[in-house]
Structure 1
Amino acid sequence: MFKTITQIKKYSFFCFLSIISACGCWAQDNKTIPDIEKIYLHTDNSRYFVGDDLYYKAYNVRANNNLLFDNSNILYVELISPDAKIIARNKTNLEMGLGNGDFQLSDSLGVKPGVYQLRAYTNWNRNFGEDFVFKKNIEIIDVFESHSKTNKTQNGISDIKTTEISKQNNFKIDFFPEGGSLLLNVTSVVGFKAVDSKGYPINVTGEIFDSDNELVTSFSSTHDGMGKFQIIPIEGKNYYAKTKFPDTPDLRTELPGISKSGYSLNYKVVRGKSIIAILTNEQTLLQNPNAALTVVCSAKGVAYFESLQTVTQTVMSFELPKEITPEGISQITLYDSNLKPLSERLIYIEKEQDLEVQLSTDKVSYQPNEKATVNVISKSKTGIAKSASFSLSVTDMNGVTEEKDFGTTISSYFLMESDIRGKVYNPGYYFDTANLKRLDHLENLLLTQGWRDFVWKTTPGSNDNIKYMAEKGFTIAGRVKQLFGDKAKVNNRIGMVLMNKKHMNSFKTYTDSIGSFKFENIMFSGKTKMSLYSRNEKGKYSGEIIVNPIEQPPLAVFFKNETINRNESTTLIVENVFKKYTSFGVKPENMLAEVSIAGKKKPRSISHFGIPDASYVADKDMSLFTNIYELIEQKIAGVVSFEDSVRFVRYEAAPLFVINGMAAFKEEVDAIYLGDIERIDAIKGSQAKLYFGDESSNGIIAIYTNPNAGNRSKNEYFHSIQQEVDGFYMARVFYSPDPEKISSEDNKLAVRNTLYWNPYVHPDKAGNANVNYYNTKVETKIRVALEGITGSGIPVVKNAYYIIKK
Structure 2
Amino acid sequence: MKKFFILLLLVFLQPYYSQDKAEKALQTFNEKYPQEKIHLLFDKSSYIAGENLWFKSFVFEGYNRSNISTSLFVELYDRNKTLISKNLFPLLKGEGSGSVFLPENLKEDIYYIRAYTTWMSNFSEDFQLVRPITVYNPSSPDKLVKDTISSWTASVHPESGTFINGIKTKFAVRLHSPKGATPSDWNGYVIDTTKPDIHLADFKGFDQNVGSFSITPENGKKYQLIVSDKKGYKQSIDLPEAVAVGINLQVTSNTDVVKYTLKANNLSENSQYYKILGTINNQLVYKAKINKISDDISYSIPTDKLINGILQLTVFDDNENVVANRICFIQADLLNIKQPSLQSLSLNTSPRGKNSFEIAINPNYANYSVVVMDATTNNPEEENSLLSTLWLTGDIPSKIYMPAQYFTKKRNAEALDALMISEKWTRFNWSNLISGRLPTIRYTPESYISYKGKVLIQGKPASNADLNLIFTTPHHGTNFYSVKTDVNGFFTFGNLVFEDSIKFSYQLNDKKIPKETVQVFFQPNFEFVPYKNSLPVNEFILAKRLPDEKLPTEISRLATIKSNQKIINEKITDIEEVVIKGTKKAKTQKLNEKLSSSLFKSINEQIFDFVNDNQNAQSSFGILQWLQGQVAGLEIRSQGGDYIPYMRGGTVDIYLDEMKIDARQATSISMQDIAMVKIIKGSFAGSFGGGNGAIAIYTRRGGITGSISNSSANSSLKQITLNGYNKEAPFNNPLYDDINFKDIPQDMRNVLYWNPYLETQPNAPSAVQFFNNDDSKSYKVIIIAFDDNETPLYYNEALK
Shorter-chain TM-score above 0.5? yes
The amino acid that maps onto 1:553 is F
State the superposition RMSD in angstroms: 4.3
Mapped pair 1:317 → 2:298: yes
The amino acid that maps onto 1:49 is I
1:72 to 57, 69, 72: 69
Residue in 2 that maps onto 1:134: 129
Residue in 2 that maps onto 1:117: 112
Mapped pair 1:552 → 2:527: yes
Q: Would you say the 8 A contact 2:66–2:94 is kept in 1?
A: yes
Are residues 291 and 227 of structure 1, via their aligned partners in 2, closer, same or farther at CA, if it must alter by over 3 Å? farther
Q: Would you say the 8 A contact 2:89–2:98 is kept in 1?
A: yes
Residue in 2 that maps onto 1:490: 463
Name the CA distance, whole Å, in 1 between partners of 2:561 and 2:530.
43
Residue in 2 that maps onto 1:417: 393
Cα deviation, residue 179, structure 1: 0.2
Residue in 2 that maps onto 1:60: 59
Name the CA distance, whole Å, in 1 between partners of 2:731 and 2:762.
26
Residue in 2 that maps onto 1:212: 194
The amino acid that maps onto 1:242 is I
Name the CA distance, whole Å, in 2 between partners of 1:585 and 1:470.
38
The amino acid that maps onto 1:193 is R
Alignment of 1:522-601 (within 5 A): 522-531=496-505, 538-541=512-515, 542=517, 545-556=520-531, 558-560=533-535, 562-563=537-538, 565=540, 575-577=552-554, 580=557, 599=580
Cα deviation, residue 800, structure 1: 3.1
Cα deviation, residue 531, structure 1: 4.7
Give the stretch that moved more between structures: 539-548 or 232-241. 539-548
Q: Would you say the 8 A contact 2:354–2:770 is kept in 1?
A: yes
Name the CA distance, whole Å, in 1 between partners of 2:364 and 2:710.
61
Mapped pair 1:358 → 2:332: no
Alignment of 1:319-334 (within 5 A): 319-334=300-315
Residue in 1 that maps onto 2:418: 444
Mapped pair 1:469 → 2:444: yes
Name the CA distance, whole Å, in 2 between partners of 1:369 and 1:490.
66
Residue in 1 that maps onto 2:705: 707
The amino acid that maps onto 1:778 is D
Q: Would you say the 8 A contact 1:376–1:763 is kept in 2?
A: no
Are residues 537 and 302 of structure 1, via their aligned partners in 2, closer, same or farther at CA, if it must alter by over 3 Å? farther
Name the CA distance, whole Å, in 2 between partners of 1:423 and 1:585.
33
Cα deviation, residue 347, structure 1: 0.5
Residue in 1 that maps onto 2:281: 300
Q: Residue 451 of structure 2 aligns to a residue in which SS?
A: strand
Q: Would you say the 8 A contact 1:363–1:802 is kept in 2?
A: no
Are residues 730 and 427 of structure 1, via their aligned partners in 2, closer, same or farther at CA, if it must alter by over 3 Å? same
1:396 to 371, 374, 378: 374
Q: Residue 441 of structure 1 aligns to a residue in which SS?
A: helix
Kindly name which structure, 1 or 2, has the bigger radius of gyration based on alpha carbons. Answer: 1
The amino acid that maps onto 2:100 is F
Name the CA distance, whole Å, in 2 between partners of 1:584 and 1:328.
40
Residue in 2 that maps onto 1:103: 100
Are residues 498 and 42 of structure 1, via their aligned partners in 2, closer, same or farther at CA, if it must alter by over 3 Å? same
Q: Would you say the 8 A contact 2:42–2:380 is kept in 1?
A: no
Residue in 2 that maps onto 1:665: none
Q: Would you say the 8 A contact 1:240–1:252 is kept in 2?
A: yes
Are residues 113 and 218 of structure 1, via their aligned partners in 2, closer, same or farther at CA, if it must alter by over 3 Å? same
Q: Residue 411 of structure 1 aligns to a residue in which SS?
A: helix
Are residues 332 and 389 of structure 1, via their aligned partners in 2, closer, same or farther at CA, if it must alter by over 3 Å? farther
Q: Would you say the 8 A contact 1:783–1:800 is kept in 2?
A: yes
Q: Residue 446 of structure 2 aligns to a residue in which SS?
A: coil
Mapped pair 1:39 → 2:17: no
* Gaps in structure 2 of 5+ consecutive residues: 8-26, 543-549, 585-672, 674-701
Cα deviation, residue 188, structure 1: 0.8
Q: Would you say the 8 A contact 1:48–1:141 is kept in 2?
A: yes
2:249 to 265, 268, 282: 265
Q: Deviations over 1:695-714 (max 9, x none)?
A: xxxxxxxxx99735998999
Q: Residue 479 of structure 1 aligns to a residue in which SS?
A: strand
Q: Would you say the 8 A contact 1:545–1:721 is kept in 2?
A: no
Q: Would you say the 8 A contact 2:52–2:100 is kept in 1?
A: yes
Q: Would you say the 8 A contact 2:178–2:538 is kept in 1?
A: no
Cα deviation, residue 373, structure 1: 0.9
Q: TM-score when scaled to structure 2?
A: 0.70
Mapped pair 1:454 → 2:426: yes
* Gaps in structure 1 of 5+ consecutive residues: 1-19, 151-159, 380-384, 568-572, 604-671, 673-703
Mapped pair 1:376 → 2:359: yes
Cα deviation, residue 177, structure 1: 0.7
Q: Residue 294 of structure 1 aligns to a residue in which SS?
A: strand
Name the CA distance, whole Å, in 2 between partners of 1:349 and 1:262.
26
Q: Would you say the 8 A contact 1:529–1:723 is kept in 2?
A: yes
Residue in 2 that maps onto 1:610: none
Alignment of 1:734-773 (within 5 A): 734-739=731-736, 740-743=738-741, 746-747=744-745, 750-765=747-762, 768-773=765-770
The amino acid that maps onto 2:384 is T
The amino acid that maps onto 2:190 is I
Residue in 1 that maps onto 2:48: 49
Are residues 199 and 711 of structure 1, via their aligned partners in 2, closer, same or farther at CA, if it must alter by over 3 Å? closer
The amino acid that maps onto 2:527 is Q
Q: Residue 390 of structure 1 aligns to a residue in which SS?
A: strand
Mapped pair 1:229 → 2:213: yes
Name the CA distance, whole Å, in 2 between partners of 1:330 and 1:424.
19
Cα deviation, residue 559, structure 1: 4.7
Name the CA distance, whole Å, in 1 between partners of 2:399 and 2:157.
17
Q: Deviations over 1:552-607 (max 9, x none)?
A: 1233253526456599xxxxx9844456579999599989999966649999xxxx
The amino acid that maps onto 1:221 is G
Q: Deviations over 1:174-222 (max 9, x none)?
A: 0111101211211111111123452432243233222424533233312
Q: Residue 419 of structure 1 aligns to a residue in which SS?
A: coil
Residue in 2 that maps onto 1:195: 176
Identity %: 19
Residue in 2 that maps onto 1:277: 261
The amino acid that maps onto 1:186 is I
The amino acid that maps onto 2:724 is G
The amino acid that maps onto 1:280 is A
The amino acid that maps onto 1:386 is N
Residue in 1 that maps onto 2:365: 387
Q: Residue 428 of structure 1 aligns to a residue in which SS?
A: helix
Name the CA distance, whole Å, in 2 between partners of 1:368 and 1:181.
61
Residue in 2 that maps onto 1:336: 317
